[in-house]
Amino acid sequence: MDKGKFITIEGGDGAGKSTQIPFVEQLIRSRGHKLQVTREPGGTELGEQLREILLNFSAGKMCDDTELMLMFAARKQHLYEVITPALEAGVWVLCDRFTDATYAYQGGGRGIDASRIEVLEDWVQQGLQPDLTLLLDVPVEIGLGRTGKRGEVSDRFEQQQVCFKELVRESYLDRTRRFSHRIKRIDAAQKVDAVQIRIVEEFNAFADNVT
């Protein structure tokens, strides 16, 4: 049995992930693939508990290293319970964020050295990487404008200062340049239909080579 393919969606606040993930799900299913849709941090019972801590911890300041290790703890459980079994069973996996987000938020935003993240990445993932990553990229000021219109209570990461968000975006763009074979930047500042046209182009270019 052929292994499934692992596709991730990345992007900063207000990039439109919640809108585009169902669209990508539809694209995958339209080709007849079985699909597991999941998210990080989270995806498992334990992972969702860790997600709640990571996003809403309020009992003082969480140490940056603690944040990083909790992210990878949730990821290991996610891989163990959901992602790896699905891929081995030939099921495609669509995940809202993965390790690129860790390099962006904990690396770029928090300033943790990438070499330290790489150690955890190698240990936890054992070489597993997404087959395709779609980066929904939007300038920080546009993203802030979009999230401000939601009227929702923001989490720990959404509450960060603009300079933090700029560092996150630059880290994402740097990884796109470094891993251009896997990470495809989508200009998410465009209207939804224009974004989806670009998503279809990138997805079809990928899927046509594996099906």
Mind listing the pLDDT tens digit for each residue in 153-191? 566 787 778 999 999 999 999 999 999 999 999 999 999
Domain positions in the chain: 6-207
pLDDT at residue 150, rounded to an integer: 65
- Both tokens assigned to 210: 């594996």
pLDDT at 116: 97
2-26 pLDDT tens trace: 999 999 999 998 999 999 999 999 9
Alpha-carbon gap, residue 45 to 38, rounded angstroms: 12
Question: Which pLDDT band holds residue 58 (cuts at 50, 70, 90)?
Answer: confident
Nearest-CA neighbor of 98 among 17, 14, 156?
Answer: 17
Please report the pLDDT score of residue 152 as a whole number.
Answer: 58
Domain 6-207 maps to which CATH number in 3.40.50.300, 2.30.30.100, 1.10.10.10, 3.40.50.720?
Answer: 3.40.50.300
